[in-house]
Amino acid sequence: MSPKKKTRMVVVIISVLIILGCSAAGIWKVYEANNERAHNTLMKAFDGDYTHEEQIEQLEKVLKLKWVTPENKIQVYTNLSIIYSLNQQYSKMIENAVTAIYMADKKEEYDYSAWNYINLSDTFMMLYDYDMAEELIDKALSYDLKDPKDQRWIRETAYIYLADLKSKIGRTSESNKYLKLSMNYVVKDAYDYEEMLSKRKIIRARNFWNDGEYQSAERILKDIKEPKAEDELIIANVTIPLKEMKAKLEIVNGNLEKSRQMCDEVVKMQQERGYSAECLTFLKEIAPLYEARDPAAYSKYNVQALDMYAVVMKQESQLSADYIFTIYGSKYVKIRDEADRTRLIMMVSIIFMFMLILLLLFLQSRKQSITDVLTNTYNRRHFDSVYHKYIRKNIPFAVIMIDVDCFKDVNDSFGHDFGDEVLARLCKNFNDKKERDMKLFRMGGEEFCILYKCEKLEKAVSLAERFRLNVQKMDWEEGRRVTISAGVAFSGQADDLYNLADQNLYHSKKSGRNKVSYTQ
């Protein structure tokens, strides 16, 4: 290669490397920018300065970005599910939670899987499906998380949710048992220590309330500092439940004016945030408490409860949520198992192909075992099988025995190669002009047999005669001439049709050859 060409090649290689480098740098820059944007959006997901609709819009924009890491996408779907739940959009909540679980399981980010199961359980508690909620919490607890911190947090949270669930349905002893279990996972320097502590106290106060021990409930609530944070989750999980319990205690203590103000505040907070199901539950709890104490308040909150029923009925009901979860749960299972299913299909395909190859080899082997290699006709072994099958099934058929006239002279005069050619060409001629219900067999040497399923002897004789004439007309090298003789026998003419056809063939050869003989 000349120095000039070498220089050009070096320039081209360097140019390609520069282009690839610039492209990689550009992609990396977009990757970093998009993931930084995703991170910033996630940090502001529950900022009180934004409405639910604005938060959803920002998170869904992140999902449309290119090269966002799966970990960030899992967090986006998780946050979307929480916001949709707060917004009472249960179908969307379930869809995003299930998607997050699928992606988390696939990436082995099991802490997010467990977290989303817990979030789903919270949704079903709001819809009064406590059995489903408990089942989902059990799923969260089934994960064996590698990170001790994640394991601790999930178990503490799960047991608190179980305690809350049992408390809401009045099973105080079970609720207290789960509260005690949750204490095994408390870490005082955890970022959510105060929130978890407040949750426990609220649940314990509700348990005292359920048992009619109002003073004990009030004493516990006095120890809880009302959160000042504007975090939406803290408002939903601590602030509002705390205000609900305090309002109910004011009612039973007879502080009716103060209790009405507190109840109105709770209802307003719930309505502003779209917590329709929780609001309805609260109104159903407080209205009976006012019945004997304040008939006007009783009437007021009953009317509000009826109005709230209408709102809740417009939203997805418990039944529809169960149905949606079943759909998305099935979808999750299908997607989760898609890789396994693909591998299974590939394995089945390989096994199928292997079995197909074995079948083809078997068929080929069987064909070889019943086929004469030289003439590509059936052999004597297969003749015996077909012949006896026809007899056994009482199928009407003819036996046509064929022999090449003076074949020994052909071999002696022109050689065995020509003799083989004669046999091969004759059989090809027979096969090209054979009837649909006819089978051709080589019985040995130059002797052949045809088994022909037909209704009359005349049809078999006609077929044999046609073959004889076709062979007589065939052209051979150097003017050579080849003829055949045939003997025909038909069903019912003898117990041994093969032997009768062979005798008729012998008659054809003894009476001058190149003819067809048969018994009337």
CATH no. for residue 98?
A: 1.25.40
* 328 neighbors 94 (Cβ within 8 angstroms): yes
Q: Is residue 138 part of a domain?
A: no
- Domain for residue 246, yes or no? no
Q: Please report where in the chains the tokens 């004789």 appear, as a residue.
A: 461
For residue 333, is pLDDT > 70?
A: no
Other Cβ atoms within 10 Å of 50 Cβ, number: 16
173 is a domain residue: no
- Structure confidence by residue, pLDDT tens digits, 223-252: 888 877 667 778 888 899 999 999 999 999
Query: For residue 264, what is the enclosing H or E element?
Result: helix 256-272
Give the tens place of pLDDT for each residue, 164-217: 999 988 899 999 999 999 999 888 887 778 888 899 999 999 999 989 999 999
**Are the C-beta atoms of 98 and 69 separated by less than 8 Å?**
no
Task: With cut-offs at 50, 70 and 90, classify the pLDDT of residue 46.
Answer: low
Among residues 185, 183, 117, which one has the least CA distance to residue 153? 185
Backbone angles phi, psi at 518, to 5 degrees: -155, 165
3-state secondary structure 201-224: HHHHHHHHHHCCCHHHHHHHHHCC
478 — alpha (psi -120 to 50), left (phi > 0) or beta?
left
pLDDT over 90, % of the chain: 27
Whether residue 52 is contained in a domain is answered as yes
Cα(208)–Cα(264) distance, integer angstroms: 24
**Would you call 396 helix, strand, or coil by DSSP?**
coil
Q: Does residue 338 lie in a domain region?
A: no
Partners of residue 404 on adjacent β-strands:
484
pLDDT tens per residue, range 151-164 = 998 999 999 999 99
pLDDT of 445 over the 60 cut = yes
- Give the sign of the dihedral formed by CA 379, CA 383, CA 386, CA 389: negative
- Choosing from 106, 128, 150, the residue where a domain stops is 128
Report, as an integer, the average pLDDT of 26-31. Answer: 70
pTM above 0.75? no
Q: Which residue has the tokens 């990689």?
A: 24
Nearest in space to 167 (alpha carbons), one of 214, 139, 199, 138: 199
Is 204 within a domain? Answer: no
Domains: count for the chain: 2
Burial of 313 (0-12, 13-18, 19+ CB in 10 A): exposed
pLDDT at 324: 45
For position 244, what pLDDT does the model report?
Answer: 92
Q: Which 3 state secondary structure label does DSSP give 443?
A: strand
Domain range for 503? 380-518
Q: Is the Cβ–Cβ distance between 440 and 448 less than 8 Å?
A: yes
The domain boundary, picked from 107, 128, 149, lies at 128
Domain end, chosen from 128, 152, 173, is at 128
370 domain residue, yes or no: no
What would the pLDDT profile of 81-140 be if each residue is shown by its tens digit? 888 887 777 778 888 888 888 888 888 888 889 989 998 888 888 777 788 889 999 999
Can you read off the two tokens belonging to residue 486?
A: 């045939």
Q: Please indicate whether residue 335 or residue 41 has the higher confidence score (pLDDT).
A: 41
Does 241 fall in a domain? Answer: no
Contact between 501 and 400 (Cβ < 8 Å)? yes
What is the rounded distance in angstroms from the CA atom of residue 376 to the CA atom of residue 141? 71
- The token duo for 488 is 């025909």
Ramachandran class of 395: left when φ > 0, alpha when ψ lies in -120 to 50, beta otherwise: beta
pLDDT, one tens digit per residue, over 393-430 is 899 999 999 999 888 888 888 888 888 888 888 888 88
Cα-Cα-Cα-Cα torsion 80, 85, 91, 95, nearest 10 degrees, comes to 30
User: Rounded distance, CA 347 to CA 340, Å?
Assistant: 10
Distances in whole angstroms, Cα of residue 349 to Cα of each of 97, 335, 336, 345, 360? 34, 20, 21, 6, 16
Give the 3-state secondary structure of residue 66. coil
Single-letter amino acid code for the residue at 251: I
